[in-house]
Chains A and B, each alone.
Chain A
Amino acid sequence: MEIMIMLIAVSTMVALIFLVGFIWSARKGQFDDLVTPAVRILDEDS
């Protein structure tokens, strides 16, 4: 059932991409402000 190894590898790869994305975004300060972004999207300058 080596196909399981493949699927787990691919899924783990996807998870790793997400993990890198998470660490990167946390380091970049994406989550420093968890209040104003929700309000700012309501600005109707667009």
Chain B
Amino acid sequence: MSTETIRYDNKVVLHFLIASTLFGVVGMMVGLLIAMQLTNPAFNLGPWLSFGRIRPLHTNAVIFAFVGNALFMGIYYSLPRLCKTPMISPLLSKIHFWGWQAIIVSAVITLPLGITSGKEYAELEWPIDIAITLVWVAFGINMLGTIYKRRERHMYVAIWFYVASWLAVAILHIVNSIELPFSYFHSFSYFAGVQDALVQWWYGHNAVAFFLTTPYLGMMYYFLPKAANRPVFSYRLSIIHFWALVFIYMWAGPHHLLYSAVPDWAQSLGTVFSLMLIAPSWGGMLNGLLTLRGAWDRVREDAALKFMVVAITCYGMATFEGPMLSLKNVNALAHYTDYIIGHVHVGGLGWNGCLTFGVLYWLVPKLFGTKLYSQKLASWHFWLATLGIIFYAVALYFAGITQGLMWSQFNEEGDMLKYPNFLETVLQIIPMYYVRALGGSMYLIGALVMCYNLWKTAREGDFIAEDEAQVPTRIGALQTNKGFHRKLEGMALPFTVFSVFAVIIGGLFELVPVIMSEVKNPSKPLVGIYSPLELEGREIYRKEGCVNCHSQMIRPFRAETERYGDYAKPGDYVYEHPFLWGSRRIGPDLQRIGERPDLTAIWHYNHMIDPQTTSPDSIMPPYPWLAENELDLSLTRSKMRALRILGVPYSDKMIESALTDMKKQAEGISRELNKFDKNIDPEQWQTELIALIAYLKVLGVRVEEDPVLSETKAEEEL
């Protein structure tokens, strides 16, 4: 049999590798900063580096920059070798790499500026969403084309994981990013309230599934056998692992919304599928660990294997915890608490982080044709990372359970909350926040040690820009019959791409009417529409990322209705674009804060300027700039018009008189504040703080008749 020589491109692999480690370190540093901010609000360094704005920066950096670049690194290394053919297009590889980095840089710029969609893990605004779609398509063409051109008939299980990840992420991203722009950088989510929440968590859960899990499983099935130099324990099991995961994962999203205003049957569906996930996940974990049977002596010495073992163990832990947390009774205690943050970091630091480190310790020496610079430093990294994860997770498990119990604790007579002041429950767990920050620092230091080690390794070797391989000459190896199939093969690329998009577009035609009818016939509103000033206040709430610490979703428990007010119903959210339910309570829930008579305008004013004056020892960051920043009124009307398209009943007259209405309402608030010697010039009402106060004063107030709508109606009649 004649052979030919092909070359695998290692440059793009190295590019992704460098980007991943670089952004990984940056993302972890931001993580450490926000961890410090929770121990002491003094670490909130001005508007651009306040918790609400940079928490999304941390999550986006570690998910899309660190893990994203690492999985591309893994795919661009393993896919051509598994297919025995180079990537079909070096140009698309380049576009993919630089496009992705441009997206990350734009995230680093826009998120601290407060440009956010307000939806967790999907914060990036619409122009970036479009860029992500384009880069993703370029990546897909490159990957699917390479698979089609493969010289190896069998598609190794890792390839299946890569393809499924690509396909699922594409669909999730598109559906969750349906939004209506009202300016170059801002938009409203197309969906409102409960529907927005369902779409978001369908996306949010599957982003964890198809961005953080399945591509990494593909990497595990390639790099673990490679590093251990032995085949996977059971190839049959790996195939079952794959198919079981992809069929079950898509349905587990509602477990993020248990006891919320979404329908009960949907919640139960999410729980059932989450429980089913234990089987394939643990099958995969055991398959990974058993691959090392008979090689455990090498695990003791080999840094790559050591990290992979921790990663796979953490995968098992996180995928056991996930289904347990989706049980309604467990979720009732743990939801909104720091337990969830501990859980995701077992996955993030343990599974994604350590698998990345393992692959790096194997790959860098290989790419540079040398040995690892220092096994000893790698050992240090290993212990720093492992102990860091333990400090991190255990501290937050304690914190989470403490919070959950304190929030729901009644006094001995059972008639009053034992800890009615939310702040008490926060102060109780501050020591745990310190331990968490310690764990995080250890993990970060470990990563820096690795960077040094890998840098020295690279310096000792010479970069092998291309790996040569001898493969059988392609004489139509894959064709089984001539004719129709041969033609199809000639059109490999268009065929693959078009068929995928045909399915997506076909689906959209079916779905758009459904969405349209839903927008036109919403649930009966229980709350009024926002006046222009309140709407702008809500935009400040979104911009400052208040949703990252405060939920707006009261669950139907006595402990919650006692503390916060009546529980949430779908009608509370019909005008909420985007929904701002939040997923954690670092501070108290705010859904019904407008119904609290004790929280007056002046209280809000003082609280926002310096939270410690109204709530001593509060860890909330101060927002003095809100009182100084002028409220941007240039887009108010565009916002109202955009919302009207989405079904919020603003009339022409309301949009026209928006500015005078705002002035009137703001002057009312200024007058109230001036009673307390604030000396606000009524002409200077245009501050962000006044708008935010207007919003907070009506937040969650249930009405029989819409006050804003009826006022305009009365005026029109005059």
Q: CB within 8 Å of B: which residues of A? A: 1-7, 9-11, 13-15, 17-19, 21-22, 25, 29-31, 33-35, 37-39, 41-42, 45-46
Contacts and interface: CB of A to CB of B under 8 A. Distances in A.
Contacts of B239: 31, 34
B154 A37 contact: yes
A3 B266 CA distance: 11
B507 interface: yes
Contact of B236 (A11, A14, A34, A46): A34
Which of the listed residues B191, B231, B236, B500 has the most CB atoms from chain A within 10 Å of its own CB? B231
11 contacts: A3-B191, A5-B514, A7-B199, A9-B514, A10-B507, A13-B503, A17-B500, A19-B247, A21-B163, A34-B236, A46-B467
A45 B263 CA distance: 56
Contacts of B84: 46
Contacts of B235: 34-35, 37-38
Contact of B171 (A5, A14, A25, A31): A14
A41 B156 contact: yes
Given A33-B154, A41-B156, A14 B250 contact: yes
B229 A46 contact: no
Contacts of B659: none
B570 to A, nearest CB: 8
Interface string B225-244: 11001111001101100010
Contact of B198 (A4, A13, A22): A4
Interface string B452-474: 00000000000000010111000
Contacts of A13: 171, 503-504, 507
B138 interface: no
Contacts of B156: 37, 41
A32 to B, nearest CB: 9
A30 B285 CA distance: 23
A19 B248 CA distance: 12
Given A5-B514, A18-B164, A11 B246 contact: no
B226 A14 contact: no
A46 B232 contact: no
A5 B507 CA distance: 12
A19 B500 CA distance: 14
Interface string B478-517: 0000000000000000000000100110010011001101
Interface string B66-87: 0000000000000001101000
B518 interface: yes
Contact of B243 (A7, A14, A22, A46): A22
Interface string B301-314: 00000000000000
A10 B232 contact: no
B266 A46 contact: no
Given A3-B191, A34-B236, A41-B226, 9 more contacts: A5-B514, A6-B511, A7-B198, A9-B510, A18-B247, A31-B239, A42-B225, A42-B226, A42-B229
Interface of B: 8, 81-82, 84, 153-157, 163-164, 167-168, 171, 175, 191, 194-195, 198-199, 202, 222, 225-226, 229-232, 235-236, 238-239, 243, 246-247, 250-251, 253, 262-263, 266, 467, 469-471, 500, 503-504, 507, 510-511, 514-515, 517-518, 570
B573 to A, nearest CB: 12
Contacts of A22: 243
Contacts of B225: 38, 41-42
B251 A3 contact: no
Contacts of B504: 13
**Which 4 pairs between the two chains have the least Cβ-Cβ distance?**
A38-B231, A3-B195, A38-B235, A2-B518
A33 B515 CA distance: 45
A41 B266 CA distance: 42
B232 A17 contact: no
A18 B243 contact: yes
A43 to B, nearest CB: 10
A38 B232 contact: yes
B515 A42 contact: no
B511 A41 contact: no
Nearest to B80: A46
A39 B514 contact: no
A11 B167 contact: no
Contacts of B231: 38-39, 41-42
Nearest to B238: A38
Given A4-B263, A6-B514, A30-B155, A45 B470 contact: yes
A13 to B, nearest CB: 5
A2 B250 contact: no
Contacts of A6: 511, 514-515
Given A4-B198, A10-B175, A10-B507, A15 B247 contact: yes
A2 B538 CA distance: 26
Contacts of A19: 247
Contact of A11 (B154, B229, B250): B250
Contacts of A39: 231
Nearest to B262: A1
A36 B81 CA distance: 16
A4 B266 contact: yes
Contacts of A37: 154, 156-157, 235
Contacts of A29: 153
B154 A30 contact: yes
